[in-house]
Amino acid sequence: MNFNEFINKNDIPFNNDEVQGYLTGLIVCDIGENFKREFLKFIGKDLYESLSERQTLDISIAQTIKSLINNSVSLSFDEHENLQIQLEGMAHWVTYFIMAINISVDKKYIKNSLLIQELLFDFQEISKSYDNYFIDNEVDDREHYDTIKEYILSSIYSIYNFVRENDGKK
């Protein structure tokens, strides 16, 4: 079962892009034992109590961690069929990534830094792209989308590395 099927089967009120953005945000923060507690608050603790659901989640979490370690993160919104839907998915993904980072900072799981603040500011601007961006030239817009997607990926790795190099703790 993939994450999308898991979300639909369990009536989770978030879409795949939102869940992946939140999950990735928590994982890049390296918040240790606090990770599962925060993630389960997000999706619902009761789901994790079921053995089959726990296995599905643990596999998804392990795959996300492995992709970060191997610098091979695949962004769920990039898998959508057309550019307009990809932009909408990107906005959702980034919004929930920001939420996870902010929770980690607010609860002092990681220290607030200029790097994190700058990246979160940029991500807030990206999250507005769906509402503020009108697609009028598929070729040019695809290039802009690809540039933004690459910036998101490099930012994810920047936070991931920063937190681990600086121990991320306050």
pLDDT digits (tens, 9 = 90+) for 75-121: 999 998 888 889 999 999 999 999 999 999 999 999 999 999 999 99
Query: Which ranges of the chain have pLDDT less than 70?
Result: 1-2, 47-48, 50-51, 132-139, 167-170
Q: Are 110 and 163 a contacting pair, CB within 8 Å?
A: yes
pLDDT at 26: 95
- The number of folded domains in the chain is 1
Examine residue 27 and state whether it is found in any structural domain, yes or no. Answer: yes
pLDDT at 152: 96
Structural domain contains residue 140: yes
For tokens 């703790």, name the residue: 169
71 within domain boundaries: yes
- Integer distance in angstroms from the first to the last C-alpha of the chain? 38
- Tell me whether residue 102 is in a domain: yes
Whether 170 is in a domain gets the answer no
Structure tokens at 99: 């939420």
Range of the domain at 134: 3-165
Looking at the domain assignment, is residue 87 inside a domain?
yes
